[in-house]
Amino acid sequence: MVQVIPAVALSLLWKRLSATATIIGLLGGIAMVFLNHFVLHWPGYDGFWGLLVNFILVIALNGLFQNQAQRTLQNSKLFQQT
């Protein structure tokens, strides 16, 4: 449940946030939680490591999917005009 926080927080603060990067970050965060819990056993809360991976993936991959985010923003503006 906590893995949704980066998607909500960053989408409120960052208009050009790519949906694809957000989904990849969400899936990567969930995978990290399970990986840490069952395999890695790093100290601390498993969800923290998942959130860290989630934020890093979203921020790092957003540049790769910037064209998609730009199209989404333009489509949103078109719908607001009608």
**Domain residue ranges in the chain:** 2-81
Q: Which tens digit of pLDDT belongs to each residue from 25-47?
A: 999 999 999 999 999 999 999 99
Cβ atoms of 11 and 17 within 8 Å: the answer is yes
Instruction: Write down the pLDDT at residue 57.
Output: 96
Q: Which tens digit of pLDDT belongs to each residue from 9-30?
A: 888 888 788 889 999 999 999 9
What angle, rounded to 10 degrees, do the helices at 46-62 and 5-13 form? 40
> How many CB atoms sit inside 10 A of residue 10's CB?
18
Residues 61, 63, 67, CA angle at the centre, nearest 5°?
Answer: 115
